[in-house]
Amino acid sequence: MHRSRPPKELSDLVKAKALSLGFEACGISTADSLAQEQSRLEEWLARGYQASMSWMNNHREKRVDPRELVEGAKSVVSVIQSYYHPLDQQEDPSIGKISRYALGEDYHLVMKEKLFELLNWMMAEVPGCTGRAFVDSAPVMDKAWAAKAGLGWIGKHSNLISPEHGSWFFIGELIVDLDLAADGPILDHCGTCTRCIDACPTDAIVQPYVVDANLCISYNTIEHRGNDVPTEVHEGHGNWIFGCDVCQEVCPWNKFRTESSEPRYAPQAARINVPLEEWAELTQEEFSATFRKSAVKRTKWDGFIRNVQYAQKNEQKRHQAEE
């Protein structure tokens, strides 16, 4: 048992420290099993909506119970950090589009750095406390924990939406062996809105709150390996060459977006307004240099060039239709 301040007092200090580090919000939940989320995950996997992401089938116990990841875990501290920066993106189908979150420095590096600062502060504040930091680095259901901690609700497009900050943000968490005062979830405010469902270019949101990765542009341009994306799917990619922001762009809650205070998330000039024909000439060495410390490295050079070629085919087809 750690000798420390009362849980509520310590929780307030943790949240204040998180905000001082540049996080937009911080919420806390008890480290127990995500029973409802487990049921939804099992159904999603049974439908094959994970596509080729076979790792989603692994470590299911760890995905739904943080005590399987951190011995003695008692609390999950969730944080969000905005990556939204104004973007002078040309609306030209001959320009390759990269998802906004990948235009700056890799969030894994930035978020981990700040989460370690928070964890180190907690360990100094409460000697003997232990924990781990996570940013897409282990089987942790980050959106579920953030929703449980009251940082927002999971929208019909499956992204977390904050009533104060919209959805242009990253999520991270600390799993610690401290007793902290837990927050509660907030209400779902999507209501009857279906803008994200209606706007999805490939109809990947197969029903409210359920995304089929087989159809999703983000999955196909980032996670999928090989050149076998079905024609009817990659024709819906338009000029997206890494990720897709459509469902967030149309979400009315993003009128409350918070501009990022983190300069490392600012769009880098070499990654915006680049014609597809220029991207198509990118060599392996140029790819590595252009996307150093970037999430775009996830797709690898050959995957990136494949995406560009799909976009070029879509542009050619558009031209033919106009002739």
Torsion (CA) 304, 305, 309, 312 in degrees, nearest 10: 80
Mean pLDDT over residues 85-113, rounded?
95
Of 176, 210, 244, which closes a domain? 176
Coil, helix or strand for 11?
helix
More confident residue, 63 or 117: 117
pLDDT tens readout for residues 54-67: 888 887 888 889 99
> 200 and 133 in one domain?
no
Decide if 1 is inside a domain. Answer: no
Centre a 10 Å sphere on the Cβ of residue 291 and count the other Cβ atoms it contains.
23
Decide if 186 is inside a domain. Answer: no
Which phi and psi angles does 147 have, rounded to 5°?
-65, -40
Percent of residues, the chain, with pLDDT higher than 70: 98
Of 124, 148, 176, which closes a domain? 176
> 143 and 65 in one domain?
yes
> 239 and 159 in one domain?
no
Mode of pairing for the β-strands spanning 97-98 and 75-82 = unpaired
| pLDDT higher than 90, residue 262 | yes
Q: Using alpha carbons, select from 13, 20, 149 the residue that is nearest to residue 81.
A: 20
Percent of residues, the chain, with pLDDT higher than 90: 89
> 36 and 165 in one domain?
yes
pLDDT at 5: 79
pLDDT tens readout for residues 217-232: 999 999 999 999 999 9
pLDDT tens readout for residues 144-166: 999 999 999 999 999 999 999 99
> 217 and 165 in one domain?
no
**Partners of 95 in beta bridges:** 275
pLDDT at 322: 77
pLDDT at 323: 66
Query: Quick one: tokens of 113?
Result: 């750095």
Task: Output DSSP code: residue 57.
Answer: G
Decide if 163 is inside a domain. Answer: yes
Average pLDDT over all residues of the chain: 95
> 202 and 169 in one domain?
no
Total domain count for the chain?
A: 2
Q: What residues make up the domain containing 289? A: 195-252+268-322
Torsion (CA) 243, 248, 254, 259 in degrees, nearest 10: 0
Decide if 72 is inside a domain. Answer: yes
> 232 and 126 in one domain?
no
Residue 136 is a catalytic residue:
yes
> 149 and 18 in one domain?
yes
> 164 and 17 in one domain?
yes
> 163 and 18 in one domain?
yes
Residue count of the chain? 323
Decide if 263 is inside a domain. Answer: no
> 231 and 144 in one domain?
no
Decide if 132 is inside a domain. Answer: yes
pLDDT at 2: 53
**Partners of 172 in beta bridges:** 79
pLDDT tens readout for residues 78-93: 999 999 999 988 889 9
Decide if 161 is inside a domain. Answer: yes
| pLDDT higher than 80, residue 276 | yes
b/e sequence 159-174, b meaning 16+ C-beta within 10 Å: bbbbeebbbbbbbbbb
Catalytic residue, candidates 32, 65, 136, 188? 136
Mean pLDDT over residues 191-204, rounded?
98
Decide if 212 is inside a domain. Answer: yes
User: What is this structure's pTM?
Assistant: 0.95
CB 271 within 8 A of CB 97: no
> 61 and 209 in one domain?
no
| pLDDT higher than 90, residue 257 | yes
